[in-house]
């Protein structure tokens, strides 16, 4: 009688990334954030526990079937490709059920956005039109972005004080690149606030 070969208890980062449908870098971030359990070989390679991977896959299936409250639509508008991709991967690592859209320009994002308003908008100030921001400030009560977490990225930390005075009050201004822990705290606070609002409604 033949016995089935034992399935290894661990897998590589690239294999885990393929199973999860994410980039290898995002899988590495999930390990660093504790979403995936792993250990390193003496050669420095990560080995991810298959049990940890299976748990994430199951959570993703449940979220897709039930609609997780933490599922967000996040739009990142950033001209720099590496900054844009790093932000997207870091946010996906922290909020794995989210749908993240990356755009180089505001026009490009509007073409693909359609009627759907994102839950979170992160935009490089270089991509935002000053006239649009002033109009948003005047019409904030009826804005189609009401209920969206608005984060603007300043080109450099030195310009932040002046830029902060020019932005509508709804925008949160962060230096570029933003500190990942600060960005995660803002998004988590937004999720918590939205959940509290839904409970009261």
DSSP string, the chain: ---PPPPPSEEEHHHHHHHHTS-HHHHHHHHHTTSS-EEE-TTS-EEEEHHHHHHHHHHHHHHHHHT-TT--EEEEE-S-HHHHHHHHHHHHHHSTT-EEEEESSHHHHHHHHTTPPPSEEEEEGGGS-HHHHHHHHHTTTT-TTTT-EEEEEESSGGGHHHHHHHS-TTEEEEESSPPHHHHHHHHHHHHHHHHHHHHH-
Model pLDDT, residue 48: 93
Cβ neighbours for 33, distance < 8 A, ≥ 6 positions apart:
93, 94
How high is the mean pLDDT of the chain? 76
pLDDT tens for 176-186 read 878 777 888 88
With beta carbons less than 8 A apart as the criterion, state whether 106 and 127 touch.
Answer: yes
pLDDT for 141 equals 41
Q: Which pLDDT score is estimated for 13?
A: 92
Domains of the chain: which residue ranges? 10-66, 73-200
Whether 37 shows a pLDDT value over 80: the answer reads yes
Residue 68 confidence class, pLDDT cut points 50, 70, 90: very low
The pLDDT score that the predictor gives to residue 49 is 92
**What confidence tier does 140 reach under pLDDT thresholds 50, 70, 90?**
very low
For domain 73-200, say whether CATH 3.10.100.10 is its number. no
What integer is the mean pLDDT of 83-105? Answer: 86
As a whole number of angstroms, the distance between CA 136 and CA 134 comes to: 5
Beta bridge partners of 36: none
Q: Do domains 10-66 and 73-200 have the same CATH topology?
A: no
Assign 14 a pLDDT band (cuts: 50, 70, 90): very high
The residue to which tokens 């606030």 are assigned:
193
In the CATH scheme, what architecture does the domain 10-66 have? Orthogonal Bundle (1.10)
Residue whose pair of structure tokens reads 């967000």 in the numeric block: 72
- Grade residue 73 by pLDDT with cuts at 50, 70 and 90: confident
pTM over 0.75: no
Q: Does residue 100 register a pLDDT over 70?
A: yes
DSSP letters spanning 99-126: EEEEESSHHHHHHHHTTPPPSEEEEEGG
């Amino acid at each position: 009688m033949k016995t089935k070969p034992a399935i290894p208890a661990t897998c590589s980062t690239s294999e885990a990334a393929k199973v999860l449908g994410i980039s290898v870098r995002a899988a590495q971030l999930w390990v660093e954030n504790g979403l995936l359990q792993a250990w390193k070989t003496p050669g420095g390679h990560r080995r991810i526990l298959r049990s940890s991977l299976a748990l994430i896959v199951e959570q993703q299936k449940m979220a897709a079937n039930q609609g997780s409250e933490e599922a967000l639509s996040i739009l990142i508008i950033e001209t720099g490709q590496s900054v844009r991709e790093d932000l997207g991967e870091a946010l996906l690592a922290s909020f794995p059920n989210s749908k993240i859209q990356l755009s180089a320009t505001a026009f490009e994002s509007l073409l693909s956005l359609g009627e759907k308003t994102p839950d979170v908008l992160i935009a490089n100030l270089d991509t935002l039109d000053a006239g649009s921001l002033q109009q948003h400030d005047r019409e904030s009560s009826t804005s189609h972005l009401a209920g969206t977490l608005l984060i603007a990225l300043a080109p450099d930390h030195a310009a932040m004080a002046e830029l902060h005075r020019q932005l509508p009050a709804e925008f949160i201004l962060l230096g570029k690149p933003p500190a990942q822990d600060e960005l995660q705290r803002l998004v988590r606070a937004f999720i918590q606030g939205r959940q509290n609002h839904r409970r009261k409604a």
